[in-house]
Amino acid sequence: MFREFEREAKVFDLPARKFWHGAPDLDTSVTFHGQRASNPVGPAAGPQDQMAQNIVLAWLAGSRILELKTIQINDRLSIPRPCIDATTVGYNVEWSQELRLEDSLREYVAGSMLIDILKEVNLLGRPSDPDKDDTILDMSVGYDLQGIRSEPVRLWIESMKDASVHVEALRQQIPDEFRRFRDLDFTRRLSDQITLSTFHGCPAGEIEGIVRFLLTEMDVHVTVKLNPTLLGQERVDHLLHDVLGYREVETRAQDFEKDLQWEQALEITDRLSEVARAHGRTFQVKFSNTLVVRNHRRFFPATEEVMYLSGEPLHVLTLNLVEKYRQARPEVPISFSAGVDNRNFPDCAALGFTPITTCTDLLRPGGYARLPKYLENLEERMRALGVRTLGDYVVKSCAQGAEAIRRVVPPGGTQEALLGSLASERVALRETLEQRGAAHLFPRLVQQAALLNTPVVVAKVGAEPRYRAEQNRKEPRKIDSRLWMFDCINCDKCVPVCPNDANFIYETGLHRAAYQNYALHAGTVVAVPGGVFEVKKEHQIANFQDFCNECGNCDTFCPEYGGPFIEKPRFFGSLDAWRALPRDGFFCLRQVDVDAAWGRIRGVEYHLEVDRARDRGLFTDGAIRVELRHSERRPLTASARAGTAEGHTLDFAAYLNMALAIDGVLDPRRANPVNAAQA
């Protein structure tokens, strides 16, 4: 983080100009389960927040409520690949955390500690406004009662509630260079709240049982994530097909029949709200989960019968569901996630949702850099309306404020004062109520306005062409070109679209030269014809394997064929990791004067050692060894190990590939996950 910021004015490839600073004149803060967050936005439990760097990226870009990726007892998942298709509206076949429980915990603790460090050094450069830093980590846990009650999951939740042991362990790992942070008072209570994910088809009794267990035995606040199937198949199909035109999307009756039914949802939310109150905890609902539909895309393996829909159509479906739910249970707080982007975020804020989480949009070109615009658009709308706080914004944003005031505040001086403030250029509803000793009415006023705003926003999105199928069918264009290890059109899309920041940019020298291979003939190593090796660009892309879960998103948006995470040089974070996964790729180690590198190219293993002081390289495939003048890529001598088979040939292009890639990623002018650990 620090080296990259110093050298390239970015952190985990997010440019500093995309960091969210927050407008000092506006208060966008919200309260979620009784805790303050500086704004309501953050990533939904998904591919964007399973690793420490995800958490940092989300935070720098403006997230202040982060729903961490769902954990579950089954932490040895095998997910079909590719698993994310965000080319049009958003489909996926992935689900929970792919790390082991203890690894997830380490990533979340590390992410929280890194945020504490960023706050401490004020990387955002905002000495006057620490109010913009208040952040909530929201655990996400799935999927059934037996798993959630299991010892490992209980311990995991307890460790998030008090992470002291894990904080101390990571504190010891802070390198000497950053020893000043070893004494930092790091956050230990990472989270005391959970958003519950259940399986599609999870019985009502089981959902209720899990939430009761979490509220009463784990002593956490709970948000339960509900499914869009609650709208009923007929209504979902009508919206999808007749209103929005997604006729190719097919729902299945069994998914609606098996899922939680409408009456059950109302009954359990009533009972659970009561249980929460009795235990001094809070309970709310989240709309919504993705929609299960038949897999009609060739993108995913044909073995997958269903896939999960998100993005634009889900936004419309879910807002309709919210409207229905609010008519039945207006008092239950709602967390929202469904096709949120910078254009509809201000309207979501106008509906009083807390938090408002986003996922599909951040998988599109720009990645996390898309997030600051959400908040900028909200801030712009707030200024245009003359409001300074989010509560006042909810009241004024959809022209329902006067009606909300009349419904909540009895006729008289206070009501008139509020109506006067609402019509003024500097709205101050809370202050007006405070001055008249009626501050307690403010939350009710905001809630009433959010309810009145709901049909207004639902009607608006239903009529907006941008949610319709014809506007969401365009897939990213591929050009007639195939990736290889070096050179491409350098669009750099693969870097920010990676939710894990696994792809990175590095530089190589240009290279064009004929080369010869080396073969053993009659007991002597001789030069034999090779080819021409050419690298035409300095700007290159590499992949850090330890961060990559092969979701395929960078392939989706890369204009060339082949997939950056497959074709570009793959670097491992340790020799053990390189040995454990028998894929093409490299591990390199910078030592005092010598760089050592292990490589696998088209399944053949190579080793390279470079003595930088003497400019000497030793390259071998384990049978033939070539000594070189490394800076010139020029062979000096070649020999064979005893026992090498007659005719065995060493591919010298493998050396050229390896030398260029390794010198490039170890170049200290740029920071990347490979040289960060070695510089």
Amino acid at 437: G
Minimum gap (Å) between residue 505 Cβ and ligand SF4: 8
Nearer to ligand SF4 among residue 39 and residue 54 (C-beta): 54
Nearer to ligand SF4 among residue 492 and residue 538 (C-beta): 492
Other residues' Cβ atoms within 10 Å of the Cβ of residue 531: 12
Minimum gap (Å) between residue 15 Cβ and ligand SF4: 16
Whose structure tokens read 């990175």? 504
Nearer to ligand SF4 among residue 370 and residue 493 (C-beta): 493
**Complete DSSP assignment for 270-322:** HHHHHHHHHTT--EEEEE-PPEEEE---TTS-TT--EEEE-HHHHHHHHHHHH
Nearer to ligand SF4 among residue 490 and residue 574 (C-beta): 490
Q: Which residues are paired to 591 by β-bridges? A: none
Residue 571 contacts residue 502 (beta carbons within 8 Å): no
Alpha carbon distance 347, 338 (integer Å): 13
Stated as kind and residue range, the H or E segment containing 42 is: strand 41-43
Whose structure tokens read 């395929």? 552
Residue 567 contacts residue 485 (beta carbons within 8 Å): yes
328: its two tokens? 């039945």
Minimum gap (Å) between residue 539 Cβ and ligand SF4: 8
Nearer to ligand SF4 among residue 58 and residue 260 (C-beta): 58
> 76 by DSSP, 3-state: which?
coil
Nearer to ligand SF4 among residue 231 and residue 554 (C-beta): 554
Minimum gap (Å) between residue 47 Cβ and ligand SF4: 8
Minimum gap (Å) between residue 532 Cβ and ligand SF4: 22
Nearer to ligand SF4 among residue 81 and residue 444 (C-beta): 81
Nearer to ligand SF4 among residue 167 and residue 551 (C-beta): 551
Contacts 24+ apart (CB under 8 A), 150-159: 150/73, 152/73, 152/101, 153/71, 153/72, 153/73, 153/101, 154/218, 156/71, 156/101, 156/104, 156/105, 157/194, 157/218, 157/220, 158/218, 159/105
Q: Which residues are paired to 573 by β-bridges? A: none
Alpha carbon distance 523, 643 (integer Å): 10
Residue 95 contacts residue 307 (beta carbons within 8 Å): no
646: its two tokens? 């007659």
Nearer to ligand SF4 among residue 203 and residue 365 (C-beta): 365
Nearer to ligand SF4 among residue 312 and residue 487 (C-beta): 487
Minimum gap (Å) between residue 191 Cβ and ligand SF4: 25
What number of residues does the chain have? 679
Residue 284 contacts residue 223 (beta carbons within 8 Å): yes
Nearer to ligand SF4 among residue 492 and residue 507 (C-beta): 492
Nearer to ligand SF4 among residue 347 and residue 550 (C-beta): 550
> 482 by DSSP, 3-state: which?
strand
In three-state form (DSSP H/G/I as H, E/B as E, the rest C), the secondary structure along 331-349 is CCCEEECCCCCCCCHHHHH
Nearer to ligand SF4 among residue 48 and residue 295 (C-beta): 48
Minimum gap (Å) between residue 549 Cβ and ligand SF4: 5
Nearer to ligand SF4 among residue 426 and residue 477 (C-beta): 477
304: its two tokens? 């997958």
218-to-56, 158, 160, 161, 571 alpha-carbon distances in Å: 27, 8, 11, 10, 41
Phi, psi at residue 288, to the nearest 5°? -145, 175
481-to-487, 541, 554, 562, 674 alpha-carbon distances in Å: 11, 16, 16, 9, 28
Minimum gap (Å) between residue 51 Cβ and ligand SF4: 10
Q: Residues interacting with ligand SF4, by CB under 6 A?
A: 483, 488-494, 498, 500, 502-503, 541, 543, 548-554, 558-560, 564-565
379: its two tokens? 């801030």
Minimum gap (Å) between residue 563 Cβ and ligand SF4: 7
Alpha carbon distance 35, 66 (integer Å): 13
Phi, psi at residue 461, to the nearest 5°? -70, -30
Minimum gap (Å) between residue 501 Cβ and ligand SF4: 8
Minimum gap (Å) between residue 308 Cβ and ligand SF4: 17
Amino acid at 118: L
Minimum gap (Å) between residue 496 Cβ and ligand SF4: 10
Minimum gap (Å) between residue 560 Cβ and ligand SF4: 5
Minimum gap (Å) between residue 543 Cβ and ligand SF4: 5
Q: For residue 545, what is the DSSP state?
A: G
